[in-house]
Structure 1
Amino acid sequence: MTDTTPPASAPSPVFENLVAGYRRFRETGWTPRRDRWAELREGQEPEVMVIACSDSRVDPAQIFDAAPGEMFVVRNVAAMVPPFETAPGHHGVSAALEFAVQVIGVKEIVVLGHGMCGGARAALTRELHGNPPGEGGFIADWIAMLDEARAEVVPRLGTTGRTAERAMEEAGVRVSLANLRTFPCIRRKEREGTLKLRGAFFAISDGVLHVMDEVTGEFLPTV
């Protein structure tokens, strides 16, 4: 009979670092703000939802210096929003959008792209195309949402180099904004003026935040 008991876990320096960080947070983040945490115990009322990449270098709370409870955040590969659909499945981003817009009632949704995005680069090069699930296939299927945008970028800029990558990263923000507007509740609230959609881009190389011009679609640095 096979023994399925998991082996005793050895001390992990990675997890120990997390616990050490938690202790610092308790001392410098939680304790000095106990009144704020007490308020949050009763519920959350963030006015903005941020859709960002899972990349460890671009934490929206850090970039925007946000306090606890100020932002409702969803992070995934390349900060993508899939289009509205009712087919059976696990619609994680759609569920989060529904909760933020219909239950919490956020006033703004910000799609935050970033420089050196691995997901956008993979969409550009198609290096994972054809891989089976578990070996890059899940990623390839997800970033296939950028195929139409890629078809516009590649003839002009090719598939390699920072110029092409930057164009793909910015295009990803525009695709997600377009897909947001396929959700009936978002279209309605935007039309009524109770919900605003914005595109933004954080450049890792210089730490500058760019905001998308709604008319031209260009990303302009904040001052």
Structure 2
Amino acid sequence: MHEAKPLPSYLVQRYQGWKVTSYAENRAWYQKLATDGQHPRAMVISCCDSRVNVISMFGAEQGELFIHRNIANLVPPYQPDGKEHGTSAAIEYAVQVLKVAHLIVLGHSNCGGVQGCLNMCRGDAPELEGNHSFVGRWMDILRPKYDDVKDIGDEDTQLRALEKSSVMMSLENLMSFPWLADKVAEDTLTLHGLWVDISAGTLEFYDTQEARFRAV
């Protein structure tokens, strides 16, 4: 594999800084994690967006959160067809093996993936329409929610509504996994829908009683 190159120097420097500070100060904890394995209390499904920092947002410690990231924090429906399903595999491992108590779907403002879906639904993104586009086919998961937002307000309002719809679509699809739905029914697993405004730093959660997102 001749294409692989050494790390950029700035990443090497940051690693070395971490090794002599955070790691050195918590060596026993890291060794315990390595020996005892991971026992996270929650799984978070968030967007790949580099501006979404789940660890920082929740002040999480090493080993506390099982995190899966993908474009637009989407969960596909349950589909055991023998093909590769990275998100579904991560959910299966978290729920069936790690037995997390909470499963959180975290959406965010200014999501490029959701914007792409919005553009695609309007016919403004031909580059996403063909089978060659992995992003376009992934965003097909969210496409059915477009009808719910297409007639409300301006484009910014529609984008924010579709971002929150991506959270709801994922929650709905999570319940299509039979073994996950069983744990929710048994009250051994709780689902949570969140949306964060990157600029304002505000966090909203989906309130089932009011059927809307509201501030935490």
TM-score of the two chains, using structure 2 as the length reference: 0.91
Does 1:197 find its partner at 2:191? Answer: yes
- The equivalent of 2:128 in structure 1 is 129
Q: RMSD over aligned Cα, in angstroms?
A: 1.8
- The equivalent of 1:149 in structure 2 is 145
Unaligned runs of 5+ in 1: none
C-alpha distance in 2 between matches for 1:99 and 1:8: 30
Paired positions, count: 210
Percentage of pairs with the same residue: 36
Equivalent position amino acid for 1:185 in 2: W
C-alpha distance in 1 between matches for 2:19 and 2:33: 16
Change beyond 3 A, Cα 1:31–1:154: same
Tell which deviates more after alignment, 83-92 or 100-109.
83-92
For 1:200, what is the secondary structure of its paired residue? Answer: strand
Consecutive aligned runs of 4 or more in structure 1 exceeding 6 Å deviation: none
Which of the residues 26, 44, 48 maps onto 1:50?
A: 44
For 1:190, what is the secondary structure of its paired residue? Answer: helix
C-alpha distance in 2 between matches for 1:70 and 1:7: 35
C-alpha distance in 2 between matches for 1:190 and 1:8: 44
Equivalent position amino acid for 2:91 in 1: L
For 1:75, what is the secondary structure of its paired residue? Answer: strand
- The equivalent of 1:18 in structure 2 is 11
C-alpha distance in 1 between matches for 2:202 and 2:20: 30
Does 1:59 find its partner at 2:58? Answer: no
Does 1:139 find its partner at 2:135? Answer: yes
Asked whether the 8 Å contact 2:108–2:197 carries over to 1, the reply is yes
Q: How big is the shift at 1:27?
A: 2.5
TM-score of the two chains, using structure 1 as the length reference: 0.89
Asked whether the 8 Å contact 2:131–2:137 carries over to 1, the reply is no
Unaligned runs of 5+ in 2: none
